[in-house]
Amino acid sequence: MQKKTWLIIALMLVIPGLLFTVGCQKKAVSQAKAPAPAPAPVEQEPAPKPVEKPPSDWNISQNNIYFEFDKSTLTPMAQDTLMRHAAWLRENTSATVTIEGHCDERGTNEYNLALGDRRADSAKAFLVDLGIASSRLTTISYGEERPLCMEQTEECWAKNRRGHFVVN
């Protein structure tokens, strides 16, 4: 009887322990994976600035966001940049911004013009969700018509898959 009780107690301790371990592992895996979808141009992007830096020093037009190939969803890095854009827009209440959606040259130009439109729209939607008035934000797609970088390399393509912000 006593033996059985001990066994139950032991199991009660061990099983949640195992579950916890599994849970940790999962978390570790997802943490390891999280930065992976970030596009290659990470090195080209300015390192994330310290949070304490005042938004007034933030230059919205010099901080592009970047997209994965054939995607218009926002990467964690892009979301981080957009949060800084939002902070800047909150401080500069009279500023209006044009969001340009761009693509790399792979794919055909009709489709890319539509893809650039979706990219600009998803950046705008994110800023609106952060409380920026939609009337302050206009979008325009340039598709693959205005590449920044002309080489046939992934590094170059990644630079071209961008959302660019112009203060009007």
Partner 1 sequence: MRRRIKLYILIMSVTLLGPSLSWAEYDVIDITKPFLRKIPLAVPLFKNAVGSGEEKQSSQEAADFLSDSLDFTGYFKLLDRGAFLFDPETNGVTETDLNFQNWTVVGAELLVTGYYRLTGDDITIELRLFDTFKARRVLGKKYTGKVANQRDIILRFCTEVIKYLTGGEGIFGSEIAFVSNGTGNKEIYISAFDGYNPRRLTTNNAITLFPAWSSDGKWLAFTSYKAGNPDLYIRDLAKAQESKVSKQGINITPAWAPGKFELAATLSFSGDQEIYLLTGSGKIIKRLTKSRGIDVTPTWSPDGKKIAFVSNRSGNAQIYIKDLATGRVNRLTYEGQKNTQPSWSPRGDKIAYTSQMDGEHHIFTIGTDGQNPVQLTYEPRDNESPSWSPDGSLIVFSSDREGPNRIYVMTAFGTDQRRLLVLAGEQTNPKWSMNHQNN
Among 28, 44, 111, 134, binds partner 1 (CB under 8 A): 111
Burial of 62 (0-12, 13-18, 19+ CB in 10 A): exposed
Judged by CB under 8 A, the stretch of 5-13, 22-30, 83-91, 105-113 that binds partner 1 is 105-113
Q: In this complex, which beta carbon is closest to partner 1, that of residue 75 or of residue 139? A: 139
CA distances from 14 to 23, 25, 28, 82 (A): 14, 16, 21, 45
- CB 92 → partner 1: shortest distance, Å? 23
Cα 28 versus chain centre, distance = 21
144 near partner 1, judged by CB under 8 A: no
109 forms part of the interface with partner 1 (CB under 8 A): yes
One residue of 45, 100, 104, 117 binding partner 1 per CB under 8 A: 117
The residue ranges that bind partner 1 (CB under 8 A) are: 70, 106-111, 113-115, 117-118, 121, 139-142, 145
